[in-house]
Amino acid sequence: MSSGKSGVFLAWNKAADAVFMINRVSPPHDYNLMWRQFTDPMWKEGSEDWESVSRRMIAEFRTARARYLNDDSFDKLIEDLKRTSADFTRMWQYHEVPGSLDGYKKLLHPTFGVIEFEHVTLQFPNEPDQRVMIYMPHPATKSRLEHCFTRE
């Protein structure tokens, strides 16, 4: 899947939609990664290290925000998150340095159960806010996902 400057999902495949439920409606920011991280209970309950991932995401988001000080979409998202998520409001107060979000990811999915991935994010040098996120499933996860898609 790929995301843009404020965490908006730009493109994804069937597997990403099945795992992250990207097409599920989540108003008022339906296709926004930050919005999902802080408002979707499945994302919070399903993540083994939700707190540390969320703090790193906010640090990355702050960096992107600094490049677009006149972009009202950032302000709207930040205000909506502050109004909706006590966790976001608490973490937004910190001014941490961005760290890598790459590495091992373990999620508890309502359909697939425990699923595990190695994750890497590719960033374009001339478009630093566009990212391609690649999730490489561990063997058991790959088997479960393949089984799901062969039934369709």
**What domains can you pick out in the chain, each with its CATH number?**
2-150 (3.30.450.180)
Q: What pLDDT, in 10s, does the model give residues 75-129?
A: 999 999 999 999 999 999 988 776 666 788 888 898 899 999 999 988 888 887 8
Q: In this structure, what is the dihedral angle of CA atoms 144, 123, 44, 109, given to the nearest 10 degrees?
A: -10
CA distance 101 to 133: 10
pLDDT over 90 (residue 48):
no
Q: Alpha-carbon Rg of the chain, whole angstroms?
A: 15
CA distance 115 to 108: 6
pLDDT over 70 (residue 152):
no
Structure tokens at 29: 């920011």
Amino acid at 35: W
